[in-house]
Amino acid sequence: MNCISGQIETLRQKLNETVDSYRGDFLHPNVLRVSQELDMLIVKMQHLKRKSGESESRHANL
């Protein structure tokens, strides 16, 4: 999960840079593309955290 955290941070910085390069145009196709990539990674991390939490709670119940 730490690898995904690093990827999220890298993409977050890239998103900020991309927005700056298009003068704050959040609707520019390149800004939207990076934003969507970031969204997918965040969702992936949330799924992994949820899955990890479910397996931990199962072990606690045993």
In order, the DSSP letters of 30-45 are HHHHHHHHHHHHHHHH
pLDDT at 58: 65
Number of domains in the chain: 1
In 3D space, the residue among 50, 54, 34, 39 whose CA is nearest the CA of residue 1 turns out to be 50
pLDDT at 6: 96
Using 50 as the pLDDT threshold, list the residues of the chain that sit under it: none
Q: Are 38 and 6 in contact (CB under 8 A)?
A: no
Give the domain CATH number at 13. Answer: 4.10.280
Taking the model in full, what pTM does it have?
0.82
pLDDT at 2: 85
Which range of residues forms the domain containing residue 51? 2-61
One-letter amino acid of 22? Y
